[in-house]
């Protein structure tokens, strides 16, 4: 059975990997750009006046960003965590875009596809939790295990079969049920305030 030849572009990508583009250059540029942009935006090191205009201290901001980026790429564990986390963040972003595309199938071309109101807040919180979990899994322990995996294994081993977890789940369910039963409708609150103002 003939073996398929490797494409030229795949060979170029592997050459870039051996050259250190993905392990050194790209993480360095990413961290440098983010740190420099944050320092320029926050003006942490102050500003200077020249010709009647006020400018940020770009030389200091660039030097600090350069040092931080250099220290990051000097640690292979940090670079590995950044590469792993960014790949999964992009995957999470693609999931969100795919979800929006699927919703757009049922919308008219003049209608908005983006979520609004409580649903938008819900998905923002969901995405935030996803990003936090991604970075927790990307950061490894000395044994090469992600923090998320380590925490999950610890909880499952120590608390899953215990009475503590069962009691906590029961307490959460009871509190949620009581809140749902005793909460007042929004319309009732508005009517109450309206009557109070008329008097």
Closest C-alpha among 122, 169, 25 to residue 83: 25
Tell me what pLDDT residue 108 has: 66
Residues 6+ apart with CB under 8 A from 58: 40
Tell me what pLDDT residue 33 has: 95
DSSP 3-state of 55: strand
Tell me what pLDDT residue 159 has: 63
Angle at 81 between CA 75 and CA 84, to 5 degrees: 140
Cα separation, 131 vs 70, in Å, equals 25
Other CB atoms within 10 A of residue 40 CB: 15
Q: Spell out the alpha helix ranges (H) of 43-185.
A: 58-74, 76-104, 118-138, 147-158, 163-182
- Tokens in use for 93? 């972003």
Cα separation, 97 vs 102, in Å, equals 9
- Checking if the pLDDT of 170 tops 60, the result is yes
Closest C-alpha among 160, 22, 167, 39 to residue 83: 22
Max mean pLDDT among 23-27, 29-33, 95-99 falls in 29-33
Of 27-36, 52-61, 81-90, 188-197, the range with the lowest mean pLDDT is 188-197
C-beta of residue 77 within 8 angstroms of C-beta of residue 140: yes
Other CB atoms within 10 A of residue 67 CB: 12
Could you read off the pLDDT of 78-126 as tens digits, one per residue? 888 888 888 888 888 888 888 878 877 777 666 666 667 777 788 888 8
Tell me what pLDDT residue 36 has: 94
Token match 């583009």: residue?
A: 21
Closest C-alpha among 61, 55, 57 to residue 33: 61
State the pTM of this model. 0.61
């Amino acid at each position: 059975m003939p073996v398929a030849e490797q494409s030229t572009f795949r060979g170029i990508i592997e050459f870039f990997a051996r050259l250190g583009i993905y392990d050194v250059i790209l993480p360095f540029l990413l961290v440098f750009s983010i740190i420099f942009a944050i320092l320029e935006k926050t003006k942490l090191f102050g500003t200077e006046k020249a010709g009647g205009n006020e400018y940020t201290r770009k030389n200091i901001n660039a030097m600090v960003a350069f040092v931080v980026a250099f220290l990051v790429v000097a640690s292979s564990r940090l670079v590995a965590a950044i590469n792993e986390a960014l790949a999964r963040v992009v995957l999470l972003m693609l999931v969100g875009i795919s979800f929006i595309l699927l919703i757009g199938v049922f919308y008219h071309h003049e209608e908005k596809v983006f979520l609004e109101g409580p649903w938008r807040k819900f998905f923002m919180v969901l995405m935030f939790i996803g990003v936090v979990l991604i970075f927790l899994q990307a950061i490894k322990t000395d044994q090469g295990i992600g923090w998320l995996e380590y925490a999950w294994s610890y909880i499952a081993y120590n608390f899953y079969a215990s009475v503590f977890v069962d009691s906590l789940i029961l307490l959460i369910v009871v509190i949620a049920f009581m809140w749902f039963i005793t909460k007042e409708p929004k319309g009732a609150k508005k009517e109450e305030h309206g009557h109070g103002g008329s008097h």
